[in-house]
Amino acid sequence: MVGTDRSGAGPLRLVCFELRGQELALPIGDVRETLPVQPITHVFLTPPIVAGVFSLRGEIVPALDIGVLLGLARTEIGDDTRLVVIERPQGSAALVVDRLRDLRTLDAALDPAPSNVPSTMSTLLLGVAATSSGTVRVLDAGAILDAVRDDSQEGRTP
Protein backbone atom coordinates (compact mmCIF):
# COMPACT_ATOMS: atom_id res chain seq x y z
CA MET A 1 0.00 0.00 0.00
CA VAL A 2 1.09 3.55 -0.55
CA GLY A 3 1.37 6.12 2.24
CA THR A 4 0.12 8.98 0.11
CA ASP A 5 -3.20 10.62 -0.56
CA ARG A 6 -5.46 9.40 -3.38
CA SER A 7 -3.68 11.58 -5.95
CA GLY A 8 -0.43 9.78 -5.19
CA ALA A 9 1.46 12.93 -4.18
CA GLY A 10 2.43 13.90 -0.65
CA PRO A 11 1.98 12.43 2.80
CA LEU A 12 -1.19 10.69 3.91
CA ARG A 13 -3.28 12.84 6.26
CA LEU A 14 -5.56 10.91 8.58
CA VAL A 15 -8.60 11.65 10.72
CA CYS A 16 -8.04 9.39 13.72
CA PHE A 17 -10.62 8.09 16.16
CA GLU A 18 -10.97 5.54 18.89
CA LEU A 19 -13.16 2.47 18.96
CA ARG A 20 -13.02 0.17 22.00
CA GLY A 21 -9.55 1.45 22.92
CA GLN A 22 -8.11 0.91 19.43
CA GLU A 23 -6.97 3.73 17.18
CA LEU A 24 -8.52 3.68 13.71
CA ALA A 25 -8.29 6.27 10.97
CA LEU A 26 -9.64 7.37 7.62
CA PRO A 27 -7.85 9.37 4.92
CA ILE A 28 -8.84 13.00 5.38
CA GLY A 29 -10.03 13.17 1.76
CA ASP A 30 -12.81 10.68 2.60
CA VAL A 31 -14.06 12.64 5.62
CA ARG A 32 -16.55 15.43 5.02
CA GLU A 33 -16.81 16.45 8.67
CA THR A 34 -16.95 15.28 12.27
CA LEU A 35 -19.88 16.04 14.56
CA PRO A 36 -21.16 15.50 18.06
CA VAL A 37 -23.81 12.77 18.07
CA GLN A 38 -27.10 13.99 16.63
CA PRO A 39 -30.50 12.51 17.43
CA ILE A 40 -30.49 9.21 15.50
CA THR A 41 -33.77 7.60 14.44
CA HIS A 42 -33.70 3.80 14.26
CA VAL A 43 -35.04 2.41 10.99
CA PHE A 44 -36.96 -0.86 11.21
CA LEU A 45 -35.68 -3.86 9.18
CA THR A 46 -32.19 -2.52 8.55
CA PRO A 47 -28.96 -4.47 9.08
CA PRO A 48 -27.48 -4.30 12.61
CA ILE A 49 -24.66 -2.05 11.38
CA VAL A 50 -27.18 0.70 10.61
CA ALA A 51 -27.72 2.54 13.90
CA GLY A 52 -30.34 4.70 12.19
CA VAL A 53 -30.55 7.94 10.26
CA PHE A 54 -30.22 11.61 11.16
CA SER A 55 -30.69 14.95 9.46
CA LEU A 56 -27.54 16.84 8.53
CA ARG A 57 -28.63 20.28 7.36
CA GLY A 58 -31.66 18.74 5.62
CA GLU A 59 -29.83 15.71 4.17
CA ILE A 60 -30.86 12.33 5.59
CA VAL A 61 -27.63 10.49 6.44
CA PRO A 62 -27.34 6.88 7.63
CA ALA A 63 -25.44 6.44 10.90
CA LEU A 64 -23.33 3.28 10.83
CA ASP A 65 -22.17 1.48 13.96
CA ILE A 66 -18.67 0.65 12.73
CA GLY A 67 -18.10 -1.52 15.80
CA VAL A 68 -20.80 -3.94 14.63
CA LEU A 69 -19.19 -4.14 11.18
CA LEU A 70 -15.89 -5.03 12.85
CA GLY A 71 -17.52 -7.78 14.91
CA LEU A 72 -17.75 -5.85 18.19
CA ALA A 73 -20.72 -5.06 20.41
CA ARG A 74 -22.94 -2.08 19.58
CA THR A 75 -21.41 1.29 20.39
CA GLU A 76 -22.69 2.85 23.60
CA ILE A 77 -23.38 6.56 23.12
CA GLY A 78 -21.48 8.68 25.64
CA ASP A 79 -20.24 12.23 26.11
CA ASP A 80 -17.21 11.67 23.84
CA THR A 81 -19.08 9.76 21.09
CA ARG A 82 -18.77 11.42 17.68
CA LEU A 83 -19.99 10.98 14.13
CA VAL A 84 -17.39 10.86 11.36
CA VAL A 85 -19.18 11.70 8.12
CA ILE A 86 -17.57 9.96 5.14
CA GLU A 87 -18.23 10.75 1.52
CA ARG A 88 -17.28 8.63 -1.49
CA PRO A 89 -18.70 8.25 -5.01
CA GLN A 90 -21.05 5.48 -3.81
CA GLY A 91 -22.59 7.76 -1.18
CA SER A 92 -22.15 9.20 2.27
CA ALA A 93 -22.70 7.94 5.80
CA ALA A 94 -21.67 8.76 9.34
CA LEU A 95 -19.60 6.35 11.41
CA VAL A 96 -20.43 6.24 15.12
CA VAL A 97 -17.10 6.22 17.01
CA ASP A 98 -16.20 6.28 20.69
CA ARG A 99 -14.18 9.50 20.42
CA LEU A 100 -11.99 11.52 18.11
CA ARG A 101 -8.21 11.46 18.32
CA ASP A 102 -5.62 13.80 16.83
CA LEU A 103 -5.10 14.26 13.11
CA ARG A 104 -2.02 12.40 11.89
CA THR A 105 0.24 12.81 8.91
CA LEU A 106 2.08 9.72 7.69
CA ASP A 107 5.16 10.15 5.53
CA ALA A 108 5.89 6.43 5.23
CA ALA A 109 3.90 3.88 3.25
CA LEU A 110 1.18 1.90 4.96
CA ASP A 111 1.91 -1.73 5.69
CA PRO A 112 -0.63 -4.31 4.50
CA ALA A 113 -2.97 -5.80 7.07
CA PRO A 114 -1.28 -8.63 9.00
CA SER A 115 -1.97 -12.10 7.61
CA ASN A 116 -3.72 -13.19 10.82
CA VAL A 117 -6.46 -10.56 10.36
CA PRO A 118 -9.68 -12.21 9.10
CA SER A 119 -10.38 -11.51 5.43
CA THR A 120 -13.69 -9.84 6.31
CA MET A 121 -11.70 -7.27 8.29
CA SER A 122 -8.71 -6.95 5.95
CA THR A 123 -10.99 -5.99 3.05
CA LEU A 124 -12.03 -2.93 5.09
CA LEU A 125 -8.43 -1.78 5.60
CA LEU A 126 -6.20 0.32 3.39
CA GLY A 127 -3.35 -0.75 5.66
CA VAL A 128 -1.74 -0.25 9.05
CA ALA A 129 0.93 2.11 10.33
CA ALA A 130 3.18 1.73 13.34
CA THR A 131 3.44 4.99 15.31
CA SER A 132 5.09 6.00 18.57
CA SER A 133 1.72 5.59 20.33
CA GLY A 134 0.84 2.21 18.77
CA THR A 135 -0.62 0.75 15.60
CA VAL A 136 -3.13 2.76 13.58
CA ARG A 137 -5.50 0.82 11.36
CA VAL A 138 -6.45 2.88 8.31
CA LEU A 139 -9.94 2.07 7.06
CA ASP A 140 -11.15 2.16 3.47
CA ALA A 141 -14.30 4.34 3.39
CA GLY A 142 -15.39 2.93 0.02
CA ALA A 143 -15.08 -0.65 1.27
CA ILE A 144 -17.16 0.23 4.35
CA LEU A 145 -19.96 1.66 2.22
CA ASP A 146 -19.78 -1.35 -0.12
CA ALA A 147 -19.96 -3.77 2.86
CA VAL A 148 -23.05 -2.02 4.20
CA ARG A 149 -24.71 -2.08 0.78
CA ASP A 150 -23.88 -5.79 0.37
CA ASP A 151 -25.17 -6.57 3.87
CA SER A 152 -28.48 -4.81 3.22
CA GLN A 153 -28.94 -6.63 -0.09
CA GLU A 154 -28.27 -10.09 1.43
CA GLY A 155 -31.10 -9.83 3.89
CA ARG A 156 -32.51 -7.45 6.40
CA THR A 157 -32.28 -8.07 10.09
CA PRO A 158 -34.64 -6.30 12.50
Instruction: Encode the chain (158 residues) as per-residue pLDDT tens digits.
Output: 334 344 455 789 999 999 999 999 999 999 999 999 999 999 999 999 999 999 999 999 999 999 998 888 899 999 999 999 999 988 899 999 999 999 999 988 899 988 887 777 888 999 998 887 788 999 999 999 998 877 666 654 43
Q: Name the H helices within 27-107.
A: 66-69
Report the chain's C-alpha Rg in angstroms.
15
Round to whole Å and give the CA distance between 125 and 68: 15
In CATH terms, is domain 12-151 a member of 2.140.10.10? no
| Strand pairing category for 125-131 and 12-19 | unpaired
- Write down the H helix ranges in the chain: 66-69, 119-122, 141-154
Kindly tell me the burial class for residue 87, based on how many C-beta atoms sit within 10 Å of its own C-beta (0-12, 13-18, 19 or more): middle
In the chain, where the domains are located = 12-151
DSSP category for residue 41: B
